[in-house]
Homo-oligomer: A and B are copies of this chain.
Amino acid sequence: MPYDGAVVLLTGLPSSGKSTLARQAHERLLLAGRPAEVLDGDEVRRQFWPELTLSSADRSANLARIAALAALLARNGVLVLAAAIAPYSDDRKAMRVLLEGSGFRFHEVHVATPLEVCIERDVKGLYARHRRGEISKLTGVDAVYEVPAAPELTIDTSRMSVEDSVSVLLKGALGNAFEPAADR
């Protein structure tokens, strides 16, 4: 395998910037010739297991399946950027255990944009729909987000440009993951 597989989990509130960071990092990685994939929690659910709902149990199942999919890609040398709210510590821990136990580097990145900024961005209109009473159990509002206790990296996208955030992500969280295994 020319590259070592690795997995980065971007976890945080809705509209915190997870997907944006993942996509931009992905673009830079591909430009650098580094095999990489984004697994976006919502998209992956829709494409692969649309039966899963947003209940607590199904959110856990979604992250567990994303972890299994990430392992399948990582063992083929892919750097996986998983962007998912992933609100529960235990689920994130299980993901780490699976991936580190399989010999891959795993980096938990807390996209710690403050709730007020997330509400203002409201990319998918979720906060607005919640305000109108159309949805409930919105993470960060009336559903718990268990803040990561010891993430490898914390990024507050309200205090840094997307470009800088991506640089921090790629340098801080991935280290030498750019380089072919043989060159290290």
Contact = CB atoms under 8 A, between A and B. Distances in A.
A149 interface: no
A77 B35 contact: yes
Interface in A38-82: 47-49, 51-52, 65, 68-69, 72-73, 76-78
A31 interface: no
Given A48-B48, A65-B48, A37 B72 contact: yes
A76 B37 contact: yes
15 contacts: A1-B35, A2-B2, A37-B72, A37-B76, A47-B65, A48-B48, A48-B68, A48-B69, A49-B51, A51-B52, A69-B69, A73-B73, A73-B76, A76-B77, A77-B77
How many identical chains are in the complex? 2
A156 B51 CA distance: 37
A49 B61 CA distance: 10
Given A35-B76, A51-B52, A77-B77, 13 more contacts: A2-B2, A35-B77, A37-B72, A47-B65, A47-B68, A48-B48, A48-B49, A48-B65, A69-B69, A72-B73, A73-B76, A76-B76, A76-B78
Nearest to A69: B48
Classify chain A: how many residues form its interface, as a range: 10 to 19
Contacts of A77: 35, 76-77
A143 to B, nearest CB: 23
Contacts of A69: 48, 69
Contacts of A72: 37, 73
A76 B1 CA distance: 11
A56 to B, nearest CB: 17
Nearest to A78: B76
A111 to B, nearest CB: 24
